[in-house]
Amino acid sequence: MSSSEITGTVQGAGTARSGSVRIDHVTHRYGRGGETFTAVGPLDLTVPAGECLVLVGASGCGKSTLLRLIAGFERPTHGSVRVCGAEPRPGETAGVVFQTPRLFPWRTVRGNIDLALRYAGVERARWPERRAELLARVGLDGTERRRVWEISGGQQQRVAIARALAAENPLLLLDEPFAALDALTRERLQEDVRRVTDLTGRTTVFVTHSADEAVFLGSRIVVLTRSPGTVALDLPISLPRGDVDAEELRGSREFAELRAQVSHAVKAAAAT
Protein backbone atom coordinates (compact mmCIF):
# COMPACT_ATOMS: atom_id res chain seq x y z
CA MET A 1 0.00 0.00 0.00
CA SER A 2 2.75 2.40 0.94
CA SER A 3 4.73 1.99 -2.26
CA SER A 4 1.71 2.49 -4.46
CA GLU A 5 0.90 5.61 -2.49
CA ILE A 6 4.37 7.06 -2.96
CA THR A 7 4.40 6.56 -6.71
CA GLY A 8 0.66 6.95 -7.20
CA THR A 9 -1.18 9.90 -8.61
CA VAL A 10 -2.04 12.91 -6.54
CA GLN A 11 -5.42 12.65 -4.92
CA GLY A 12 -7.84 15.44 -5.50
CA ALA A 13 -8.22 18.14 -2.89
CA GLY A 14 -10.56 17.22 -0.07
CA THR A 15 -10.57 13.47 0.45
CA ALA A 16 -12.98 11.81 2.83
CA ARG A 17 -10.47 12.12 5.64
CA SER A 18 -9.60 15.78 5.26
CA GLY A 19 -11.57 18.53 6.92
CA SER A 20 -12.39 22.18 6.53
CA VAL A 21 -11.67 24.87 9.08
CA ARG A 22 -13.86 27.87 9.78
CA ILE A 23 -12.62 30.67 11.98
CA ASP A 24 -15.33 33.26 12.75
CA HIS A 25 -14.48 36.58 14.39
CA VAL A 26 -11.98 34.89 16.65
CA THR A 27 -10.17 36.88 19.29
CA HIS A 28 -7.86 35.30 21.80
CA ARG A 29 -6.53 37.06 24.88
CA TYR A 30 -4.07 35.83 27.45
CA GLY A 31 -4.20 36.95 31.07
CA ARG A 32 -7.06 38.09 33.25
CA GLY A 33 -8.50 41.30 34.67
CA GLY A 34 -6.74 44.53 33.71
CA GLU A 35 -3.61 42.92 32.34
CA THR A 36 -4.65 41.11 29.21
CA PHE A 37 -2.74 40.65 26.02
CA THR A 38 -4.52 40.10 22.75
CA ALA A 39 -2.61 37.47 20.77
CA VAL A 40 -5.02 36.90 17.91
CA GLY A 41 -7.81 38.68 16.18
CA PRO A 42 -10.35 39.66 15.43
CA LEU A 43 -9.80 37.15 12.65
CA ASP A 44 -11.92 35.51 9.97
CA LEU A 45 -10.44 32.67 7.97
CA THR A 46 -11.82 29.69 6.09
CA VAL A 47 -9.64 26.76 5.06
CA PRO A 48 -11.34 24.48 2.56
CA ALA A 49 -10.73 20.74 2.79
CA GLY A 50 -7.53 19.57 1.12
CA GLU A 51 -5.78 22.92 1.24
CA CYS A 52 -2.22 23.34 2.46
CA LEU A 53 -2.39 26.68 4.24
CA VAL A 54 0.82 28.28 5.44
CA LEU A 55 0.58 30.94 8.14
CA VAL A 56 3.50 33.35 7.98
CA GLY A 57 4.42 36.20 10.25
CA ALA A 58 7.16 37.63 12.41
CA SER A 59 7.65 36.07 15.84
CA GLY A 60 4.98 37.04 18.34
CA CYS A 61 2.26 37.60 15.73
CA GLY A 62 -0.01 34.96 17.25
CA LYS A 63 0.45 32.27 14.62
CA SER A 64 1.25 29.57 17.17
CA THR A 65 -1.76 30.65 19.24
CA LEU A 66 -3.96 30.35 16.16
CA LEU A 67 -2.64 26.83 15.62
CA ARG A 68 -3.38 25.93 19.25
CA LEU A 69 -6.92 27.24 18.79
CA ILE A 70 -7.42 25.06 15.71
CA ALA A 71 -5.95 22.02 17.52
CA GLY A 72 -8.36 22.56 20.41
CA PHE A 73 -5.66 23.15 23.05
CA GLU A 74 -7.16 26.58 23.72
CA ARG A 75 -10.67 28.00 23.44
CA PRO A 76 -10.98 31.41 21.79
CA THR A 77 -11.92 34.30 24.09
CA HIS A 78 -14.47 35.45 21.48
CA GLY A 79 -15.79 33.97 18.27
CA SER A 80 -15.74 30.36 17.18
CA VAL A 81 -13.40 27.83 15.62
CA ARG A 82 -15.05 24.95 13.75
CA VAL A 83 -13.39 21.96 12.10
CA CYS A 84 -15.80 20.00 9.87
CA GLY A 85 -18.54 21.95 11.63
CA ALA A 86 -17.60 20.80 15.13
CA GLU A 87 -15.60 22.27 17.96
CA PRO A 88 -11.97 21.07 17.76
CA ARG A 89 -10.82 18.53 20.34
CA PRO A 90 -7.19 17.59 21.04
CA GLY A 91 -6.37 14.16 19.68
CA GLU A 92 -9.44 13.95 17.46
CA THR A 93 -9.31 16.99 15.25
CA ALA A 94 -5.69 17.20 14.25
CA GLY A 95 -2.34 15.49 14.15
CA VAL A 96 0.12 18.05 15.54
CA VAL A 97 3.85 18.43 14.91
CA PHE A 98 5.48 20.82 17.35
CA GLN A 99 8.62 22.97 17.09
CA THR A 100 10.56 20.28 18.95
CA PRO A 101 9.88 16.58 18.23
CA ARG A 102 8.46 15.89 21.73
CA LEU A 103 9.09 12.15 21.38
CA PHE A 104 8.84 9.90 24.44
CA PRO A 105 12.46 9.07 25.37
CA TRP A 106 11.45 5.88 27.22
CA ARG A 107 10.15 4.41 23.99
CA THR A 108 11.92 3.42 20.80
CA VAL A 109 10.99 4.82 17.41
CA ARG A 110 8.63 1.89 17.05
CA GLY A 111 7.23 2.41 20.54
CA ASN A 112 6.43 6.04 19.78
CA ILE A 113 4.55 5.11 16.62
CA ASP A 114 2.73 2.23 18.34
CA LEU A 115 1.52 4.51 21.11
CA ALA A 116 0.02 6.84 18.52
CA LEU A 117 -1.66 3.88 16.79
CA ARG A 118 -3.10 2.68 20.09
CA TYR A 119 -4.49 6.12 20.96
CA ALA A 120 -5.93 6.29 17.46
CA GLY A 121 -7.84 3.09 18.18
CA VAL A 122 -6.12 1.08 15.45
CA GLU A 123 -6.50 -2.69 15.95
CA ARG A 124 -3.33 -4.26 17.30
CA ALA A 125 -3.21 -6.79 14.45
CA ARG A 126 -2.87 -3.97 11.96
CA TRP A 127 -0.03 -2.18 13.78
CA PRO A 128 2.94 -3.76 11.94
CA GLU A 129 1.48 -2.92 8.54
CA ARG A 130 0.48 0.63 9.53
CA ARG A 131 3.77 1.23 11.30
CA ALA A 132 5.80 0.18 8.26
CA GLU A 133 3.62 2.33 6.05
CA LEU A 134 4.03 5.42 8.26
CA LEU A 135 7.79 5.00 8.61
CA ALA A 136 8.19 4.47 4.87
CA ARG A 137 6.14 7.57 4.21
CA VAL A 138 8.55 9.77 6.18
CA GLY A 139 11.65 7.93 4.91
CA LEU A 140 12.56 6.17 8.14
CA ASP A 141 12.55 2.47 7.23
CA GLY A 142 14.97 0.42 9.32
CA THR A 143 15.06 2.68 12.37
CA GLU A 144 12.25 0.93 14.28
CA ARG A 145 14.38 -0.39 17.11
CA ARG A 146 16.49 2.72 17.62
CA ARG A 147 16.21 4.77 20.78
CA VAL A 148 14.85 8.20 19.96
CA TRP A 149 17.85 9.99 21.39
CA GLU A 150 20.22 7.98 19.19
CA ILE A 151 18.81 9.36 15.94
CA SER A 152 19.47 12.82 14.51
CA GLY A 153 17.25 15.85 15.06
CA GLY A 154 15.91 15.60 11.52
CA GLN A 155 15.04 11.94 11.99
CA GLN A 156 13.37 12.72 15.31
CA GLN A 157 11.17 15.27 13.59
CA ARG A 158 10.33 12.66 10.93
CA VAL A 159 9.19 10.30 13.69
CA ALA A 160 7.06 13.12 15.07
CA ILE A 161 5.46 13.60 11.65
CA ALA A 162 4.79 9.86 11.29
CA ARG A 163 3.25 9.87 14.77
CA ALA A 164 1.03 12.82 13.88
CA LEU A 165 -0.16 11.02 10.73
CA ALA A 166 -0.99 7.81 12.61
CA ALA A 167 -4.50 8.81 13.67
CA GLU A 168 -5.65 9.99 10.22
CA ASN A 169 -7.33 13.01 11.77
CA PRO A 170 -9.05 15.51 9.46
CA LEU A 171 -6.21 18.04 9.91
CA LEU A 172 -2.45 18.08 10.03
CA LEU A 173 -1.00 21.02 11.98
CA LEU A 174 2.70 21.86 12.00
CA ASP A 175 4.15 24.61 14.20
CA GLU A 176 7.53 25.74 12.82
CA PRO A 177 8.68 22.12 12.86
CA PHE A 178 11.95 22.64 10.99
CA ALA A 179 13.17 25.86 12.62
CA ALA A 180 15.88 24.09 14.62
CA LEU A 181 17.24 21.98 11.76
CA ASP A 182 20.15 22.66 9.40
CA ALA A 183 19.35 24.01 5.94
CA LEU A 184 19.93 20.76 4.08
CA THR A 185 17.78 18.63 6.41
CA ARG A 186 15.14 21.33 6.40
CA GLU A 187 14.84 21.27 2.60
CA ARG A 188 14.58 17.47 2.58
CA LEU A 189 11.83 17.52 5.18
CA GLN A 190 10.00 20.28 3.35
CA GLU A 191 9.99 18.07 0.25
CA ASP A 192 8.70 15.17 2.34
CA VAL A 193 5.90 17.21 3.90
CA ARG A 194 4.94 18.54 0.48
CA ARG A 195 4.77 14.98 -0.84
CA VAL A 196 2.85 13.69 2.17
CA THR A 197 0.23 16.43 1.97
CA ASP A 198 -0.13 15.89 -1.78
CA LEU A 199 -0.53 12.14 -1.37
CA THR A 200 -2.92 12.16 1.55
CA GLY A 201 -4.88 15.21 0.47
CA ARG A 202 -5.06 16.03 4.17
CA THR A 203 -5.95 19.61 5.06
CA THR A 204 -2.74 21.07 6.43
CA VAL A 205 -1.97 24.22 8.38
CA PHE A 206 1.74 24.96 8.55
CA VAL A 207 3.17 27.78 10.65
CA THR A 208 6.51 29.34 9.74
CA HIS A 209 8.38 32.63 9.72
CA SER A 210 10.23 31.74 6.54
CA ALA A 211 8.86 33.11 3.25
CA ASP A 212 10.89 30.52 1.38
CA GLU A 213 9.33 27.63 3.28
CA ALA A 214 5.87 29.13 2.88
CA VAL A 215 6.07 29.44 -0.91
CA PHE A 216 7.49 25.95 -1.29
CA LEU A 217 4.86 24.24 0.87
CA GLY A 218 1.69 26.25 0.62
CA SER A 219 -1.22 26.00 -1.76
CA ARG A 220 -2.25 29.21 -0.03
CA ILE A 221 -0.32 31.65 2.14
CA VAL A 222 -1.75 33.90 4.84
CA VAL A 223 0.50 36.57 6.29
CA LEU A 224 -0.48 37.75 9.76
CA THR A 225 0.13 41.19 11.19
CA ARG A 226 1.93 41.66 14.46
CA SER A 227 -0.08 41.10 17.66
CA PRO A 228 -2.97 41.00 17.59
CA GLY A 229 -2.75 38.69 14.57
CA THR A 230 -5.03 39.65 11.73
CA VAL A 231 -4.78 38.83 8.03
CA ALA A 232 -2.37 41.12 6.18
CA LEU A 233 -2.13 39.11 2.96
CA ASP A 234 -4.09 36.16 1.61
CA LEU A 235 -2.31 34.69 -1.39
CA PRO A 236 -3.23 31.57 -3.37
CA ILE A 237 -0.18 29.74 -4.72
CA SER A 238 -0.49 27.97 -8.02
CA LEU A 239 2.97 26.41 -8.25
CA PRO A 240 2.86 22.85 -9.65
CA ARG A 241 2.30 20.13 -7.05
CA GLY A 242 2.63 16.38 -7.14
CA ASP A 243 5.57 14.77 -8.90
CA VAL A 244 7.84 17.80 -9.45
CA ASP A 245 11.57 18.44 -9.31
CA ALA A 246 12.03 20.34 -6.05
CA GLU A 247 15.32 21.91 -7.14
CA GLU A 248 13.83 23.15 -10.37
CA LEU A 249 10.85 24.53 -8.51
CA ARG A 250 12.99 26.39 -5.98
CA GLY A 251 15.09 27.83 -8.79
CA SER A 252 12.16 29.00 -10.90
CA ARG A 253 11.41 32.64 -11.53
CA GLU A 254 7.85 32.29 -10.36
CA PHE A 255 9.08 30.90 -7.04
CA ALA A 256 11.47 33.83 -6.58
CA GLU A 257 8.77 36.35 -7.33
CA LEU A 258 6.31 34.80 -4.88
CA ARG A 259 9.00 34.57 -2.22
CA ALA A 260 9.81 38.26 -2.67
CA GLN A 261 6.13 39.14 -2.45
CA VAL A 262 5.60 37.15 0.75
CA SER A 263 8.84 38.35 2.29
CA HIS A 264 7.85 41.95 1.59
CA ALA A 265 4.40 41.40 3.09
CA VAL A 266 5.88 39.81 6.23
CA LYS A 267 8.21 42.76 6.74
CA ALA A 268 5.43 45.27 6.15
CA ALA A 269 3.13 43.40 8.55
CA ALA A 270 5.82 43.23 11.21
CA ALA A 271 6.30 46.99 11.01
CA THR A 272 2.66 47.79 11.75
Residues that bind other proteins (CB under 8 A): 71, 73, 90-92, 94-96, 98, 100, 102-106, 115-116, 119-121, 147, 149, 163-164, 166-167, 182, 184
Judged by CB, which is closer to other proteins: 191, or 198?
191
- Residue whose CB is less far from other proteins, 143 or 263: 143
Provide, rounded to whole angstroms, the least separation between the CB of residue 98 and other proteins. Answer: 7
User: Is the Cβ of residue 76 or residue 95 nearer to other proteins in the bound state?
Assistant: 95
Give the Å distances, CA to CA, from 25 to 22, 43, 123: 10, 5, 40
In the complex, least distance from residue 100 CB atom to other proteins, rounded to whole angstroms: 7
Q: How big is the CA angle at 117 (ends 187 and 55), to the nearest 5 degrees?
A: 35
Rounded Cα–Cα distance for residues 133 and 135 (Å): 6
Helix runs in 97-150, H state only: 109-119, 127-137
Query: Which phi and psi (to 5°) does residue 177 adopt?
Result: -70, -20
In angstroms, rounded to a whole number, what is the distance separating the alpha carbons of residues 221 and 43?
15
> Closest distance between other proteins and the C-beta of residue 12, in Å?
27
The least distance separating other proteins from the CB of residue 67, rounded to whole angstroms, comes to 11
CB of 182 to other proteins, least distance (A): 7
Between residues 47 and 164, which has the closer beta carbon with respect to other proteins?
Answer: 164
**Least distance from C-beta 249 to other proteins, angstroms?**
22
The Cα 100–Cα 259 span in angstroms is 26
Give the nearer residue to other proteins in terms of CB position, either 175 or 191. 175
Select 62 or 95, whichever has its Cβ closest to other proteins: 95
- Cα distance from N-terminal residue to C-terminal residue, the chain: 49
d(CA 188, CA 20): 28
Alpha-carbon distance of 164 to 63, in angstroms, equals: 19
